[in-house]
Structure 1
Amino acid sequence: MATSSAPSSCSDVEKDTTNWEKSATHAQPPITQGQEDLIESLEPPFTENPALDSDNGTAQETTPSAKRAINNINSVPNGGLQAWLTVLGAFFVYWNAWGIVNTFGVYQTYYESGLLSSYSASDISWIGSVQATLLMLTGTLAGPLYDAGYVRTLLLGGSLLAVFGQMMLSLCTTYWQVFLAQAICIGIGTGAMFVPGIAIVSTYWSTRIATATGLAAAGSSLGGTVYPIVFYKLQPTIGFPWATRVIGFIMLATLIVANLVLKVRVLPSGRRRFLDLTAFREWPYVFFVAGTVFAFLGLYDPFFYIQSYAIESKIANQDISFYLLSIINAASTFGRIIPGYIADRTGPLNLIFPCTLVAGILCICLAAAHSIGSVVVILILYGFCSGTLLSLPPTVFVQLTANRAVIGTRMGMGFALTSK
């Protein structure tokens, strides 16, 4: 009897154990995707290759997780050749995105006295305004597509579209043609490559992310310095069409470099939504986006109008007034690099607020300046302070996003709202 009852007892124990495991499994409350990502972000870094057990020399199975690699800050390189090449690639993306927007001031002056002289200055400025708006508004689509893995398509497609728009601009003779090529085509093209270009940088840096982003953002001010000089020097000698094409060839060469060196380190697993509405339940994100909306309302007024203002108010002649735009962009270079280096120690928000406040005050002071010396001083200070508005916001979006798998989406949403 004893021997026959033992198997029954063992069977009962196994059944009880199985039932207990099932009940324990069903007793656990379900967790959301966001909670799962946050839990994974606290886990130690994983290895993609099987590791050898030090005790018995056998291979231990590991399951790589793309989400864990994104969320885990300990797995971020924070240096190395590829990380710095990524900064170089993002530098050229900025060079041809915001650098082209910063260049519009020289086109504004040329259009008013040449190609589009029959239109008002306000009508002409709509071209540059729509171009800048589309650059940020396209981020609404580019951000989620980046998170979904279409990085190469966005970078290559955006580069080709921007270069194509610049080349088509050289053939334009009417307002609607210029608007279509310079505002729509270039605006969408630069917007498609901007968010992926800067979002990739965030996957290579964490401890020095503001410095890396500031160095990349310096490309916009340097591009905005070089392109106006190229156009201003070449247009009187070779004409508007070929001066515009030369800029297009420079865009093509620099964007080829960007497409070659920008490489994705990690991507989220699975599909992502085009909107992350949970961001609007986080007050820090909401307040920051609202702040950038107001800050960008008047950011580009000096860039677009300073040349025309200096000429019409007789502060400077046409030759000297041309260099005022280059002065703003040159000063803005230091306003991207230096604050980025400091922000890694003080926090980016602690620099954006005072710099934005000072930039607003300087715009008011510009109306009271009536000599070339005072205008130059104001423009140098304004260029430096306004530079933080382009270099530091991507860093803030990264810090406000606990789940790095939706950085592209949240960054695109923020820039899209800012474009309004």
Structure 2
Amino acid sequence: MAEKGTHGGGEAGFVEAKDGPDTPTTDSDIAADADPLTRTLSLGPPPDGGRDAWLAVLGTSLTGFTQFGLSNSFGVFQAYYERGPLAAYSPSAISWIGSMQMFLMFFCGLFLGRIFDRHGPHVLMIPGTACLVLSLMLTSGKRRAPAEQLTPVCTQYYQFLLAQGVLFGIGSTLLFHPSVAAPGQWFARRRARAMGCASLGSGLGGVVWPIVVRRLVVEIGFPWTMRALGFIALGVCAAACVCVRTRLPRKTPVPWSTVLAPMGEAPFALLTVGTCLVMWGMYMPFTFLATNASRLGASPDLSFYTLALLNAGSLGGRVVSMLGDKWGRFNTMAVSAVLSGVVLLAFWIPLNSVNAILAFAVVYGFVSGILISICFACVQQVATPKDVGRKVGLMWAIASFFSLSGPPINGAFIARFDGAAGYRYAGVFSGVVVLASTGFTVASKLKQDKRLFAVV
């Protein structure tokens, strides 16, 4: 009898030899075994590296570059719409387009995690690519004879909401959840490093897309810009579909009656509350940084590029988040939440010059980049490889309601109070809720290890 070891919640080890103590288990024995748990155990602990593992990370980074990068760049579209086709609508109303993207991206994980566990990533990622590309194309334009000129398909608010909000959100969620869950099957000790590398794509996308969108709009107009984005997204997401692969065997999803069962686990429940508060406040600058820069007197070009600076700062933060394996993932999340909240309260509120908002963009991008990257590693830490898809999906589904309401709440502050006051109230709200998340993150950590300064 081979000894059964444990690693990462008891998922690693060896299966019992079928023909006696001296007979090794063969691949055919494993394949013939109908029990998914036994086959999972036969795989041993996550390898923490290797070609397939790092290809999965690359695939996650590519999907993040496209769907998360564009979502994080919505501030560019917010500023464009406020001055152009949706000028008659309030900032709060326009921000619903971006928040709808985030809501659907996170909420649908409650259902997609089950499909991922049963059928793998590609049954989700391929239609997700089609939906995302179609969303960008529908927001672009169509040809009208005989002039053969490209004119906007979307001219009304509801059309932008459906095309760029709902359809983009559906494509994003189909790409996001399988690609984020896959690396968790390959990494254990080096999970923060893997998720940090995976998140670099979304940070890089947040740098590239605002610059690309601004320059293309100036050079070729908005309709052709959106069509060009669609072609780029098609190539990048197709490559991601090739790269993302899973390690564990397919399994039957748990009954719907037990979907909420993980909320009975204190570490997971507390982390979920903390993540909800992070999502409620953290994304405010990603939506309203460009419009705030315009208010302070920045040129149109510079206003758009502030968002690129914000995401460039987040790249550095995402690299630092990889040290969560050494410092403790929950420690890193708690410290980065404190820093993000402090920067919002102490830096965003008194902004009164263009130079100050440029400095804010880099600093806040850095600390928030650590925070969003380490969230993914933390939720995978309180899950075992066999239920990581289920728990990731549940946590983000709950957090989606906070990501949906956060930007419109801040937009309502900006619309209700003239000038700097609205932006200051938005900073107060966002800073307070992000700071409050720290208490729940620390509580989740203490449920795992009573030592306050333990590396967890």
TM range (shorter): 0.7 to 0.9
What corresponds to 1:26 in structure 2? none
- Distance change >3 Å, CA 105–CA 43, structure 1 → 2: closer
Does 2:286 align with 1:303? yes
Q: 1:229 aligns with which of 196, 211, 219?
A: 211
Does 2:147 align with 1:166? no
What corresponds to 1:28 in structure 2? none
**Runs (5+) with no aligned partner, structure 2:** 1-5, 141-152, 402-456
- Distance change >3 Å, CA 288–CA 233, structure 1 → 2: same
Q: TM-score, normalised by structure 1?
A: 0.84
- Distance change >3 Å, CA 159–CA 59, structure 1 → 2: closer
Q: 1:396 aligns with which of 370, 374, 378?
A: 378
- Distance change >3 Å, CA 60–CA 154, structure 1 → 2: closer
How much has 1:90 moved relative to structure 2?
0.5
Give the alignment of 1:259-408 within 5 angstroms.
259-274=241-256, 276-314=259-297, 316-340=298-322, 342-364=323-345, 365-402=347-384, 404-408=385-389
Q: How many residues align?
A: 379
What corresponds to 2:400 in structure 1? 419
How much has 1:278 moved relative to structure 2?
2.2
SS at match of 2:352: coil
What corresponds to 2:410 in structure 1? none
Identity of aligned residues (%): 31
Alignment partners' CA distance in 1, 2:36 and 2:23: 29
- Distance change >3 Å, CA 123–CA 79, structure 1 → 2: same
How much has 1:351 moved relative to structure 2?
0.7
What corresponds to 1:10 in structure 2? none
How much has 1:381 moved relative to structure 2?
1.5
Does 2:10 align with 1:41? yes
**Runs (5+) with no aligned partner, structure 1:** 1-36
Q: Deviations over 1:305-336 (max 9, x none)?
A: 1111111232x222222211000101111111
Give 1:215's aligned amino acid: C
Greater shift, 274-283 or 89-98, is seen at 274-283
Q: Deviations over 1:178-217 (max 9, x none)?
A: 1000110001110122111011111111121111111111
Give 2:67's aligned amino acid: A
- Distance change >3 Å, CA 43–CA 186, structure 1 → 2: closer
**What RMSD over aligned residues (CA atoms) do the two structures have, in Å?**
2.7
Contact 1:67–1:268 (Cα < 8 Å) also in 2: no
How much has 1:74 moved relative to structure 2?
3.8
SS at match of 1:207: coil
- Distance change >3 Å, CA 71–CA 281, structure 1 → 2: farther
SS at match of 1:148: helix
Give 1:328's aligned amino acid: L
SS at match of 1:392: helix
- Distance change >3 Å, CA 44–CA 376, structure 1 → 2: same
Q: 1:211 aligns with which of 193, 200, 203?
A: 193
Give the alignment of 1:115-194 within 5 angstroms.
115-170=85-140, 171-194=153-176
Alignment partners' CA distance in 2, 1:39 and 1:258: 27
Larger Rg over CA atoms: 1
- Distance change >3 Å, CA 358–CA 39, structure 1 → 2: closer
How much has 1:261 moved relative to structure 2?
1.3
Give 2:350's aligned amino acid: A
Contact 1:136–1:412 (Cα < 8 Å) also in 2: yes
Q: TM-score, normalised by structure 2?
A: 0.78
Give 1:335's aligned amino acid: G
Give 1:345's aligned amino acid: K
Contact 1:268–1:405 (Cα < 8 Å) also in 2: no
- Distance change >3 Å, CA 70–CA 166, structure 1 → 2: farther
What corresponds to 2:225 in structure 1? 243
